[in-house]
Structures are given as structure tokens and as C-alpha cells.
Amino acid sequence: MVFSPDGKQILAGCADGSVKLWDTGTGALLRTFQHCGMIRRMIRTHHFHPSIAFSPDGTKILTGGMNGSGILWNVADGKTVRTFSGPEGRFENVLFSPDGSRIAAQDRHQVMVWNTETSQLVRSIPGGGRIIGFSPDGRRILIDMKDGMSLCDVETGEVVRTLRARGYHGAFSPDGSKAIVGVIYGMSALWDLSTGDKIFEFQPHTSGLWCMRFSPDGKKIITGGETYTPASTSVGEARIWDAANGDLLFTLSSPTYIGSTVSAFFLPDGQSVLTAANDGSVLYWDISGCNEIDNMRVNVLSGDGF
């Protein structure tokens, strides 16, 4: 599941190849997009490569399929804008650059970057690895390679910086000077990208980490996942951290969750958060008072191939 940039819509990919768009305020299903091939795949560790993304302006979505194609869609009318092709039969872990002018995807052996408007392949970066994200200026891309986390120049493919880390999730700070990187099980860390030094470590969730993001002002970090309780049960939750020192500020947990928190998103005001769980729940939080102020169920997700 991913949220639109303004948080007003939520997009979910289903195992049957469909992509469903809902209104987060009403829970109404707005549109269904049908990709000709599975848009998510389960890998050996039983986790998923996300293959759906919103454009930065929220007007388009990108879907990637196991058939090697990527499709750019108009949100307003559901029509196909253009398609992109991956040479290795997979088109996974898709994302837009911050200005929307580039898209990136990975296959088994490389990371590829295209011009969004022309469908021209701008750069192919060999070595495989999972894409963590574009820098805020769109000039660099962070990739989890076999030898560590590589910060690469988008235009040249040159490795600018290598971090002594491995990661499955991560994000750049708003000013692009730092990045958080986390593994699914285990420690996460904040890194200084100018020096390649680790600033601090923290363990977001003991039973699985699914997403990491900064607040709009860069002062907080939100993580989503699940954590074991003393009763040996696993609870879906989001956690808010101090980006200056890694201290846990508070935890967002709800008894309505029946699974992992798979997406967590700061709204532009920095005082509100949307979270989504893999049971179809979408929750809206006021983090200034750390109170849950609205609870919405997207019932159409349940049993619908997700």
C-alpha cells in the first residue's frame, strides 16, 4: 500500500495484478487498474518488492509487473499514458524522482532509470540490488548492492559514496545530507552521506520493518512494522523517533490492526500521520497529542487478492 502525496488517496497492489485506488476520507473505491502480470512477488524470505508508486504531484501512478513491463497511468481517468520495458522480465521496486522527471525500477541484475516523458532509458546501473530512493534533488540514487549501500550518480552511474551497510528499506532526509537504512529484522541506522559515517543505530521493530520515512522538517523519523509483545504475540505498529539522536518518542498502535503496519506517512503539516496495515485498516493520527482521531476500514481489501 502507498499513499498519495497529499494523503487523500491510498493505492494497493493485489496478487491478481490489479491495483486499487481508494479515498482515505470515505473508504470509497475510486478506480481499479489492471496490470497484465503480477505486480508483487514473494521472494525467498517471504517479503515483497513493492511495485506501485504515485507521481510527486499525485496525478499519475506507476505499476511494475513480473512480465517485465512498467505502466504509467492517469489517476483521473485510469487511462494508460505510456509503457516501459525491462530487459530481464521483471519490473520491480518502482519509484519516481522527486520532480517526477525520472522513474526507476530494478530487475534481477540491474537498476534502470528512464525519462518519464519520453520513455528513454537514461541509465542502467549494473550489479542488481534494491533501490532505496532518489535524493531530494533527483541527482543521485541509493541502492543496496552486494558490497554495501551505494550512492550513485543518476546521469553517469558512478558510485559517489559507499556505506558499510545493507538495507531493505530507507529514505533520504529532506535536505539530502543524511539517509536512514534498515533491514527487515535487526538494526537500522542513520548515515551521514557526505562522509559515509554512521550517526546512530536503533531497532525499530523486533518482528519486521516495512517502511521508513522522515517528517517534512527532517526532525523525526517514522517506521512501520510489527513487534513481539511480552505475551509472544506480534503487534502492528508505527513508531516515531527523534532524528537527532535516535530516541523513541512514541508508538502508534491500535487494537484494530490484525497485521503489520506496511505503510506510514507524515502529512505535510508534520503533525498528522496516516498508517495502513496489511489487514486493510487505514488510521489517521494526531501526533501532536499522540491520539488516534479517526479510524477507517477499507473493507474491499479483505479477501480480494491482496
Q: Which domains does the chain have, with CATH numbers?
A: 1-128 (2.130.10.10)
Amino acid in the structure at residue 63: T
Residue 252, SS3? strand
pLDDT for position 45: 37
Cβ atoms within 10 Å, residue 81:
15
pLDDT for position 280: 72
C-alpha cell at 298: 477499507
pLDDT for position 242: 95
Using alpha carbons, list the distances in angstroms from residue 147 to 93, 129, 166, 299. Answer: 20, 10, 8, 43
The C-alpha atoms of residue 250 and residue 284 are separated, in whole angstroms, by 15
The CB-side HSE value for 178 (13 A sphere, CA atoms) comes to 19
* Maximum alpha-carbon separation in the chain: 54
Can you list the residues of the chain whose pLDDT is less than 70?
15, 35-50, 87-89, 229-234, 255-258, 290-306
Amino acid in the structure at residue 177: S
Dihedral (Cα; 88, 50, 79, 280), 10-degree rounding: 150
pLDDT for position 130: 84
- The β-bridge partners of 171 are 180
Amino acid in the structure at residue 243: A
> Does residue 282 contact residue 275 with C-beta atoms inside 8 Å?
yes
The C-alpha atoms of residue 274 and residue 263 are separated, in whole angstroms, by 8
Return contacts of 42-49, CB within 8 angstroms, 24+ apart.
Answer: 45/184, 47/168, 47/184, 49/92, 49/93, 49/106, 49/130
**Cell 533527483 appears where?**
138
pLDDT for position 255: 66
pLDDT for position 101: 96
Q: Rounded to two decimals, what is the model's pTM?
A: 0.85
